[in-house]
Structure 1
């Protein structure tokens, strides 16, 4: 979701900027030991693929009109979850999406225009509960470069960033012009400092088909979704922001602020065909009705 420029500027300047300087957790030191090839790290006793669901903030919206170009959401209110996902594979870990800024932790909910945002705990704190430190992350990937999906990049600097060329160019235009949302330049700079791997559509993260990043453009030019194949649940598709609500999926509603309605509708059609072909469980990442039954994990 693309929050208003005034909101992002307010959170990245003034008191929030001071918090960033004073309160940001110390950077984790990446392991000096190079990862072994998959064939050497795979272990018959290694745990099967599983996913930990992290709470990366809450977004209350007083008027949903911006979330449907059809005009049928005007005057409605809703509250979105903001989730991140730790994908635990025998050969590494992928963190999918980075939520709202951890500088909001401990602060009262922040309201700007139609949005009220809050964060209870940082990604680093939640990883600690799972016995994981950020330096143990192999990869980080974001569904797209909007404010509520990139907020804690400061905590994952030791991981390799997986990104398609289209979304990378959206963040860092090749001609040197400002990014699509200049107010996020400071956040984007944290990604530019990371090791990165440019990936193609249908990127098989661990080489065995169990974790696949596929492009669903339209919300942003290089927006992506995630396909998982889990031992108990089977195929699972994480939507990113292809959909924000159950109704958005049922009605095919496109937010007014998407970069392309035509591309979004085409992505929705391709996504639904994939879900049908796989018999997949679909998880809308901002939809509490999809998140709460997971109980913090997908197996």
Structure 2
């Protein structure tokens, strides 16, 4: 039987309220908390955006395409291993080098998460925590393989994932339906994963109702801010473009403001998870940031 722990009613100790979120999220973790933390980057697929106009409310991207990365991350902490996002569905990998075209997206997946875990001596069963930034297919595609881990999820995103309409989606829902029975920690606001300020899930709604980003405090690299889908291109960040398919434009713009405030206050290295140049600048396995 699953265990479900709600953190919605907790105060600032774990789930940060709207007031003062920026100050608490941006506060540096103690040096002792940063030691021994490793951030591994996984190649979780490629997306050819065949109609880039979907990624802005206006006409700025009309007639354009874009080749993007799909990144997942493993954070190794003395208190446990956290997988952030789960990339494209494994069926894309099984389709071979040519991949799959689905609507406005050309999808390929050269590597599996299992294979990349094996490169650092781990298996799926070694993952203690799984947290998707949100429930779109390119971030939660391999999620059912991690239903044995503890699911860390924003309460609004969990409600969005398991709403009646989502259950009727025969393509997407089977990718993550096993998570409904996973041991779950649900939170409202930010969430300090290990209780030491080193890894903080940040509430960044708008792309989806409970979209999140991740702030990791590393000893040598310093703060690293993983975007989720706060942005899809560097140009989108520079110009504050909001995709047509975001669930709430005003929430997205407010989250962009907060994201940039945290980036400025911490001096974090920002990694936009769909920007190929950001992926290429990160260490290849078995390398890592620390």
- TM-score class, shorter-chain normalisation, is 0.7 to 0.9
Q: Match of 1:32?
A: none
1:298 deviation in Å? 2.1
For the pair 1:152 / 2:142, whether they are aligned, the reply is yes
Q: Give the TM-score taking structure 1 as reference length.
A: 0.81
Q: Match of 2:45?
A: 57
For the pair 1:203 / 2:194, whether they are aligned, the reply is no
1:124, 1:155 within 8 Å by CA — same for their partners in 2? no
CA distance in 2, matches of 1:157, 1:190: 6
Task: Check 1:82–1:205 CA distance in 2 against 1; reply closer, same or farther (3 A cut).
Answer: same
RMSD of aligned C-alpha atoms?
1.6
Partner-residue secondary structure (3-state), 2:61:
coil
For the pair 1:233 / 2:213, whether they are aligned, the reply is no
1:100, 1:119 within 8 Å by CA — same for their partners in 2? yes
Q: Match of 2:289?
A: 298
For the pair 1:164 / 2:151, whether they are aligned, the reply is no
Task: Check 1:255–1:186 CA distance in 2 against 1; reply closer, same or farther (3 A cut).
Answer: same
Which digits, 9 at most, give the CA deviation of each residue in 1:22-44, with x for residues without a partner? xxxxxxxxxxxxxxxxxxxxxx9
Q: Match of 2:114?
A: 124
1:51, 1:86 within 8 Å by CA — same for their partners in 2? yes
Q: Match of 2:36?
A: 48
For the pair 1:218 / 2:206, whether they are aligned, the reply is yes
The alignment covers a number of residue pairs equal to 252
How is 1:1-299 mapped onto 2 (pairs within 5 angstroms)? Answer: 48-106=36-94, 107=96, 108-173=98-163, 177-179=164-166, 182-183=169-170, 184-296=172-284, 297-299=288-290
1:179 deviation in Å? 2.2
1:47 deviation in Å? 6.4
1:218 deviation in Å? 0.4
**Which structure is richer in relative contact order (CA contacts within 8 A, separation 6 or more)?**
2
Name structure 1 gaps, 5 residues minimum. Answer: 1-43
1:170, 1:180 within 8 Å by CA — same for their partners in 2? no
1:181 deviation in Å? 7.2
Q: Match of 2:17?
A: none
Task: Check 1:276–1:181 CA distance in 2 against 1; reply closer, same or farther (3 A cut).
Answer: farther
Which digits, 9 at most, give the CA deviation of each residue in 1:178-233, with x for residues without a partner? 22872422223121131111123221101110000011000000000000100111
CA distance in 2, matches of 1:187, 1:114: 20
CA distance in 1, matches of 2:267, 2:40: 22
Partner-residue secondary structure (3-state), 1:178:
helix
Q: Match of 1:31?
A: none
Which digits, 9 at most, give the CA deviation of each residue in 1:128-166, with x for residues without a partner? 111011111110000000010111123212210000110
Partner-residue secondary structure (3-state), 2:36:
coil
Name structure 2 gaps, 5 residues minimum. Answer: 1-31
